[in-house]
Structures are given as C-alpha cells and as structure tokens.
C-alpha cells in the first residue's frame, strides 16, 4: 500500500513528461521546418557571393530569374526582348575573362581583375556579366549591378520551371512538382479506391468467415512492407509493363508511379473502409433483406451509404499516403520536372525531389532552403488532408 502511494505519482509524472516532450518535439520539428523554409523567400535567385552587372549605359535595370536563365540558355539574344535597345546580349563571366586576358594582365593574385573587368565591360555596351561580388563591388566604373527580382511565395508557387542548380540564376518554380505530385496521387486514388472498396465490401459482406480470417491479416501485412520494396517491385514489374503496354521510350512514368502508389494505398483503404462497413448494424441489413431487397441491393443502398463517412476517411487517408510517399515515387516516376505533367511521361513529386536533391544541395544555401520550402508545402498539404479526415470522421451518422 505504502509503495503504491509512492510509485503512483512517479508514474503519473513520467507519463506527463512523455506526453509533453513528444508534443514539444513535434512543435520543434514544425518550427525548424518553417524557419528554414521561410528564409528562402525574399532571397535572391542569383548564386550567393555573385552579382550581375550590365553596362552603365544600358536602360534595362532589373531582370527576373526566368529572363536571366533564358539569356544564358541563349533563348533570348537581344536586349530588345528585355525592353532595352536593339543590340545583341554578350553573356560574360569569369570563364570568358580568362580567354580575353592573359594571366599577366590579370595579375598573379588576380589583383588587376577589377580593372580588367572594367575595361572589358566598357568595350561591350551589350554585356550581361556575372562576377564574384567581392572582386567587383564598387570597383567597376563602367558597369552597374542589375536588380534581380527576389523570390516570393507567389513566384515560388506559380513559376513553371524547376532548375535549382542553374547558373547564374536558379529557377525554383514548384508548379511542375506540385502538379506532378497531385497527378500521381490523383490517379493512384482513382485506381485504388474502386479496388479497395470492392475488396472491403467482399471482406465485410460476402466472404465467409474463414476466408476473411485469412485475408484480413494478409492485407494488413501489405501495409507493413517497406516502401523501398514496393519501389523495387514497381521498377521490376510495373515499369516494364507500362513501357510495353503503351509502347513508350521509358516506362518510368506518372502512370507507373500511380499504380505503385495505388498498391501501397490499398491496405489502408481496405482496412479502414472494411471496418466502417462492418459497423453497419445487422438489424439494418436484415431490415433491408426482409423488405425483399437482394444482397447486392442491400450492400449498395444500405451498407455502403451507412459507412460512407468511414469510406471517405479511408479515401483521404489513402490520398495522404500517396502524396507523402517518397521512396517508391522516387524509384518509378522517372524524376523529371516536366510541365505540364502527363500520365505517360516521367514526372517528379515533391517528396522525391527533396529526397533526391537534399544530398547535393550545399548546407544552408538557396537550394537547401528551397527544399525546405517544398517540405513546408508538403506539410501544409498533408495537414489539410488530416483536418479533412477529422471533419469527415466526426460527421458520422448517429
């Protein structure tokens, strides 16, 4: 008795501590994610430590990241297209300087570099140059730094190109990734929902008890298979199948991703909706049968409507699983940020992008922050989905 009086408060406080600390950890992760993600917005898309210059006489004073990329991809070759005078654009960076000047002219420790740049820029009124800020800031008279549009939330969401490592200015438009994610998930659910619902109805209403006792654990086991195994299965089975069926150059497509994610979402959909179907009171099914309804009519008109909120919850949980899935999507979707994404082309999903690029993004750099911003976006999407699940499950008929 005395020991109990002593141990009970101890256990109580231990449990309290566990609860508080896990809640704190969750908050910490969210704060960390958004802190990194938000600092991405408002920064310049130009590589850190570099500045872009134009000739002092050039009327063009600001450019967007997209325009800079087009110039360096040689899609735009005349200032006229950018609202300037009719003269060709001379792209110009340290590499070209090495060809125009000898090592002596540049100096042993590049001490004459600013002067060389200055004279070179002076001779090229149509130049768009790209130099380390430390070497050029305030030292080049013939050129002025050009204003580059900062990255904003709107641009991040609406830009249709994802080239996070392109130089001199990165383009970080989340649109192809977001659409890719939604496309893959949407078709995954289109495939998985009818199959899952049919399987759930079979298990809950038609299968006899022995079959059910065997199948239910097997289906639940499916949920426990690591996603990399699903990815591997997809790569070996689904991808070649898609390739040969549609006669495609590559099988790693959005469709292959949808199929694999559908298989992965199936156990969730089946178990959750089967549980919902089984909550239909027996008396309600009997009432339907007693009125002369067939078993199929009873399922369609009574059992499924009664379980509809549970089935909706199952579908939303399935979508959540598909949207957040990383490894399998990375392995079978082909990872190419094509705009607009289509079913029979490679696509790139948000989680796959984070997983694939985080390793090569310099810590703390712009690319790194952009991936965190992607993480924030994914977090917001899944948050909305969980809130929806809660709303739908709370709306049960009583």
Partner 1 sequence: MANKLETIDVNLHYGDFHALKGISLAIPDHSVTALIGPSGCGKSTYLRLFNRMNDLIPNTKITGQVLMDGEDIYKIKSSKIDHLRRTVGMVFQKPNPFPKSIFENVAYGLRVNGISDNSFIENQVEKTLRQAVLWEEVKDKLKKSAFELSGGQQQRLCIARALAIEPTVILMDEPASALDPISTGKIEDLIFELKNQYTIIIVTHNMQQAGRVSDYTGFFYLGNLIEFDKTKKIFTSPSKRETENYITGRFG
Q: How far is CA 312 from CA 210, 272, 298, 315, in A?
A: 28, 10, 19, 5
Taking the C-alpha atoms of residue 169 and residue 72, their distance in angstroms, rounded to an integer, is 9
Nearest to 223 by CA among 174, 292, 271, 159: 271
Tell me if 301 sits within 8 A of 231, measured CB to CB. no
Contact with partner 1 (CB under 8 A): which of 209, 218, 224, 394? Answer: 209
Contact with partner 1 (CB under 8 A): which of 9, 138, 292, 362? Answer: 292
Q: Is 102 exposed, middle or buried (0-12, 13-18, 19+ CB in 10 A)?
A: exposed
Q: Shortest distance, CB of residue 314 to partner 1, whole angstroms?
A: 17
Binding of partner 1 by 306 (CB under 8 A): yes
Binding map of partner 1 across residues 215-254, x = CB under 8 A, - = no contact: ----------------------------------------
Spell out the alpha helix ranges (H) of 358-395: 366-394
Taking the C-alpha atoms of residue 308 and residue 276, their distance in angstroms, rounded to an integer, is 8
Q: Taking CA 88 as the corner, what is the angle to CA 87 and CA 90, rounded to the nearest 5 degrees?
A: 130
Candidates 14-22, 133-141, 294-302, 385-393 — which segment interacts with partner 1 by CB under 8 A? 294-302
Contact with partner 1 (CB under 8 A): which of 42, 49, 240, 305? Answer: 305
State whether residue 147 is helix, strand or coil: strand
Q: Shortest distance, CB of residue 216 to partner 1, whole angstroms?
A: 17
Taking the C-alpha atoms of residue 283 and residue 86, their distance in angstroms, rounded to an integer, is 83
Task: List the structure tokens of 119.
Answer: 């004279």
Q: Shortest distance, CB of residue 41 to partner 1, whole angstroms?
A: 47
Binding of partner 1 by 284 (CB under 8 A): yes
Q: Is 136 exposed, middle or buried (0-12, 13-18, 19+ CB in 10 A)?
A: buried
**Which sign does the torsion angle of CA 6, 7, 12, 18 carry?**
positive
Q: Shortest distance, CB of residue 278 to partner 1, whole angstroms?
A: 15
Binding of partner 1 by 207 (CB under 8 A): no
Binding of partner 1 by 297 (CB under 8 A): yes
Q: Shortest distance, CB of residue 201 to partner 1, whole angstroms?
A: 16
The pair phi, psi for residue 52, each rounded to 5°, is: -105, 140
Q: Shortest distance, CB of residue 275 to partner 1, whole angstroms?
A: 17
Q: Shortest distance, CB of residue 281 to partner 1, whole angstroms?
A: 6
Binding map of partner 1 across residues 115-134, x = CB under 8 A, - = no contact: --------------------
Contact with partner 1 (CB under 8 A): which of 289, 339, 355, 358? Answer: 289
Binding of partner 1 by 293 (CB under 8 A): yes
Contact residues for partner 1, defined by CB under 8 A: 208-209, 281, 283-284, 286-294, 297, 301-302, 305-306, 397-398
């Amino acid at each position: 008795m005395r020991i109990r009086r002593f141990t009970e408060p101890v256990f109580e406080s231990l449990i309290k501590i566990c609860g508080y600390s896990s809640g704190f950890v969750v908050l910490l992760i969210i704060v960390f994610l958004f802190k990194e993600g938000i600092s991405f917005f408002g920064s310049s898309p130009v590589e850190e430590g570099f500045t872009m210059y134009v000739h002092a006489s050039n009327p063009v004073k600001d450019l967007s990241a997209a325009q800079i990329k087009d110039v360096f991809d040689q899609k735009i070759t005349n200032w006229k297209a950018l609202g300037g005078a009719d003269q060709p654009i001379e792209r110009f960076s340290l590499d070209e300087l090495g060809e125009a000047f000898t090592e002596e002219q540049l100096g042993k420790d590049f001490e004459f570099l600013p002067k060389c740049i200055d004279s070179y820029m002076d001779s090229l009124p149509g130049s768009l140059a790209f130099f380390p800020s430390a070497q050029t800031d305030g030292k080049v008279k013939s050129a002025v730094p050009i204003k580059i549009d900062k990255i904003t939330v709107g641009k991040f969401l609406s830009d249709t190109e994802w080239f996070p490592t392109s130089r001199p200015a990165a383009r970080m438009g989340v649109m192809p990734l977001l659409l890719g994610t939604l496309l893959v998930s949407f078709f995954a659910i289109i495939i998985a929902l009818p199959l899952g619902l049919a399987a759930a109805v079979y298990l809950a209403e038609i299968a006899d008890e022995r079959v059910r006792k065997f199948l239910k654990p097997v289906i639940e086991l499916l949920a426990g298979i690591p996603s990399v195994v699903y990815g591997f299965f997809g790569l070996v089975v689904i991808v070649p199948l898609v390739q040969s069926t549609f006669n495609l150059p590559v099988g790693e497509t959005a469709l292959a991703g949808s199929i694999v994610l559908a298989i992965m979402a199936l156990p969730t959909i089946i178990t959750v909706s089967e549980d919902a179907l089984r909550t239909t009171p027996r008396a309600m099914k009997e009432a339907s049968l007693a009125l002369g309804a067939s078993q199929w009519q009873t399922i369609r008109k009574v059992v499924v409507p009664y379980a509809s909120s549970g089935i909706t919850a199952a579908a939303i949980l399935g979508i959540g699983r598909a949207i957040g899935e990383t490894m399998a999507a990375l392995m079978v979707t082909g990872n190419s940020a094509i705009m607009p994404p289509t079913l029979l082309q490679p696509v790139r999903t948000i989680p796959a992008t984070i997983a694939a690029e985080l390793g090569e993004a310099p810590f703390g750099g712009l690319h790194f922050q952009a991936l965190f911003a992607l993480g924030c976006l994914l977090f917001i999407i899944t948050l909305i989905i969980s809130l929806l699940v809660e709303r739908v499950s709370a709306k049960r008929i009583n």
